[in-house]
Amino acid sequence: MLDLKFLRENPEIVKQNIRNKFQDQKLPLVDEVIALDAKSRSAKMEADRLRSERNRLSKQIGALMGQKRVDEANALKAQVPAESEHLAELEKQEEELSRRITEIMMTIPNIIDPSVPIGKDDSENVEIERFGEPAVPDFEVPYHTDIMERFHGIDLDSARRVAGNGFYYLMGDIARLHSAVISYARDFMIDRGFTYCVPPFMIRSNVVTGVMSFAEMDAMMYKIEGEDLYLIGTSEHSMIGKFIDTILPEETLPQTLTSYSPCFRKEKGAHGLEERGVYRIHQFEKQEMIVVCKPEESRVWFDRLWQNTVDLFRSLDIPVRTLECCSGDLADLKVKSIDVEAWSPRQKKYFEVGSCSNLGDAQARRLKIRVRGEHGNYLPHTLNNTVVAPPRMLIAFLENNLNADGSVRVPEALRPYMGGKALLTP
């Protein structure tokens, strides 16, 4: 969420940012919020004047009563009900205006970083760099669920009967591989200085609206019926929420945390063949990383975060590339975002396995996270990045480490988590 003062003083910058994100339908909101803000400030000034006048009258009445000038005191008392009624009206008006202003400000997109390429949607994202040589073997690479089934490692039919589409049972070596990847990712991030955390898997609505836009919330989150609780779609939400309504001593920054959690997502809409199996599902597990830091340090941390994901995938012999998200592909709270994509030998192209985002001070402003600095309090910046989400990681892992005979290589880094196995055999 933007600073209202910034919007008031820079309406054209905010409007151009909206155009850059191809959300022209939101342009009238800028003028609307400025007009509402002017009304709100006017109502507040009048309310403050009336409160001051009420206090003055109260003191004057007390003084007159002390002097036994009862008639004069009663004459002043007669003014109080009318002013109190007007004050109550103004306070109600202030509350309504404040609510509407907040509603609008929550939908106006954050100012994107100048380095972000301007584009309408993800088709205009820009490749930045490739890591590792993408290879296509001289044998046919089966669809990922076919590879898993050769190991008796997945049961989609039973999951469909138990929970419906978008769920799965993982079995045997494939299930062990899933857990191994999560454990390896945990230790990988701990070795890089991050503090390990297992967060709550449900969060309240004020945390949800603090970390994401209403559109994202509707598309992603499962609501717990009858309670003010939502299942998390990613652990970064509860990890950033950890700092809600807090004032952090500056010397405790940066806060660098890595978290494990299950994730639950609606995943609305129809999906193509390549997004079936375990690619796009309602429940999965994930290792995440988040940073809360000084504003001037967020760009450095942004580059460190996505590099962590690249390094982890390369340690497992999976070629990857980084892709800069264009303006139209950025969620409203994001300042800048880079996707990490893994190579698929079967599809002969890259696919998304993680996303790194800098959200500036937007989440901190919504969640009232502040830092106590030498020269007063200020808002920190927040960042998040996927370490690894095994369902998609499993696709990349199996395809890139598959042998012609159907066996799967286990890279050296993962062997301690697989009981020392160097090869998985169907």
Instruction: Catalytic residue, from 346, 355, 357, 399: name it.
Output: 355
- The CA distance from 117 to 97, in Å, is 36
Burial of 78 (0-12, 13-18, 19+ CB in 10 A): exposed
Q: Is 327 a catalytic residue?
A: no
- The CA distance from 183 to 417, in Å, is 7
Instruction: Catalytic residue, from 186, 265, 366, 370: name it.
Output: 265
Q: Is 265 a catalytic residue?
A: yes
- The CA distance from 106 to 273, in Å, is 36
Q: What is the DSSP string of 354-379?
A: EEEEE-TTHHHHHHT-EEEETTEEEP
Instruction: Catalytic residue, from 150, 192, 276, 280: name it.
Output: 280
Q: Is 280 a catalytic residue?
A: yes
Instruction: Catalytic residue, from 352, 407, 409, 415: name it.
Output: 352
CA dihedral 366, 371, 373, 376 (to 10 degrees): 40
The two three-digit tokens of residue 368, written as one number: 């009232």
Q: Is 54 a catalytic residue?
A: no
- The CA distance from 158 to 360, in Å, is 44
- The CA distance from 343 to 321, in Å, is 8
- The CA distance from 386 to 259, in Å, is 10
- The CA distance from 127 to 133, in Å, is 15
Q: Is 355 a catalytic residue?
A: yes
CA proximity to 140, closest of 297, 345, 288: 345
CA proximity to 403, closest of 131, 133, 140, 132: 140
Residues taking part in catalysis? 265, 280, 352, 355, 392
